[in-house]
Chains A and B, each alone.
Chain A
């Protein structure tokens, strides 16, 4: 073992010699990740509801912070999501109880939250995440259910959009199924949401998710 130590030490030192990529080429480009439940037929849903606010996840905040659609950033993002859902054939409803699908949007401003295979229900303790009784008092004490393993990491400057199949709420297990997730990273510049990048990310998320179609 003592003989191996210098080799291991040398390996560790040399590992630091890896050439960094040219960040200048990468810095302006967007990353869009989408994931969906393959078992779901999106054509069985007709209506959707989208809140008029975006949740801000920030480690420094002790209480939930929302950007309402009075803010042009939130308004543009919500409008882009609404336009895309409408383009895909879904009808917007303004009463949550009538919606087949719910769309929630979060802006991860500052957090190192990691979502992995082992613990997908990460917002059990994330007390300022979208509370489920938001959708209906009936959903108080309900839990999210991911039919697919969630393997992405949320990083600073990310917008996460999640689609909940309210129509498929499981009353016995009290689970609300999340059927689609989209993460748009690289949407921040100068510590603020870059609106054009965020909207481009939303369009790209729907473009690479052709299965979201009411027809």
Chain B
């Protein structure tokens, strides 16, 4: 009986406190970004074109007023059409084809974020992301799809700003520039990826 009373009191206290706590965390301690992504593979001749076929997702929890820990994940496709040519696959095989060179990647992992100013209309920040990257390197023609998959470590420094137009509403605009390096090793037909470098831009919403 005594135990039941204690449990009842605890439950009442929780019911009274939780809404306030949840409200406080939603607006003060957590953040989420959903972005459209513009990405360019660099330091490679394979599919090194700028593309907007990607998105970025990110969420974190402020362990102090300026430092947040969180998770990130994104996906992106870079496709480049290459005119017909003869590829010497090895000393005895040749392939005549045109192709679409494609790099599709899904980096995801953990992040640490440092914002220089808090509770302001403009919150500039820097973020370091560390995780893994799944990369599919494809050479696609009208008949066949040659591809190779790989996993690698991903490092992604980022600078950006969150803009909150209204002081009463924590929904705002997110802008970021990033550089990304992954250790992925891929080989497709006569092409090799020995590490994958990207630069890109995210624009989206933050809340």
A interface, CB within 8 angstroms of B: 7, 10-11, 14-15, 17-19, 21-23, 25-38, 148, 153, 155, 157-158, 185-186, 204, 208-209
B interface, CB within 8 angstroms of A: 51, 53, 55, 73, 75, 77, 79, 81, 84, 86, 91-100, 102, 104, 106, 108, 134, 136, 140-144
Write 28 A-B pairs (CB below 8 A) sorted by A numbering: A15-B104, A17-B77, A18-B104, A19-B51, A19-B77, A19-B102, A21-B100, A21-B140, A25-B81, A26-B81, A26-B141, A27-B142, A28-B142, A29-B84, A29-B97, A29-B141, A29-B142, A30-B96, A31-B97, A34-B95, A35-B93, A36-B92, A148-B92, A155-B144, A158-B143, A185-B143, A186-B142, A209-B94
Q: A19-B104, A26-B140, A27-B142 are in contact. List 10 more A-B contacts (CB 8 A).
A: A18-B75, A18-B77, A21-B79, A26-B100, A26-B141, A32-B96, A32-B97, A36-B92, A153-B144, A208-B86
Inter-chain contacts of A15 with B (CB < 8 A): 104, 106, 134, 136
CB distance from B203 to the nearest CB of A (A): 18
Binding site of B, secondary structure by majority: helix, strand, loop or mixed? Answer: strand
Cβ–Cβ contact A208 & B94, under 8 A:
yes
Cβ–Cβ contact B142 & A34, under 8 A:
no
Cβ–Cβ contact B98 & A26, under 8 A:
yes
CB distance from A159 to the nearest CB of B (A): 12
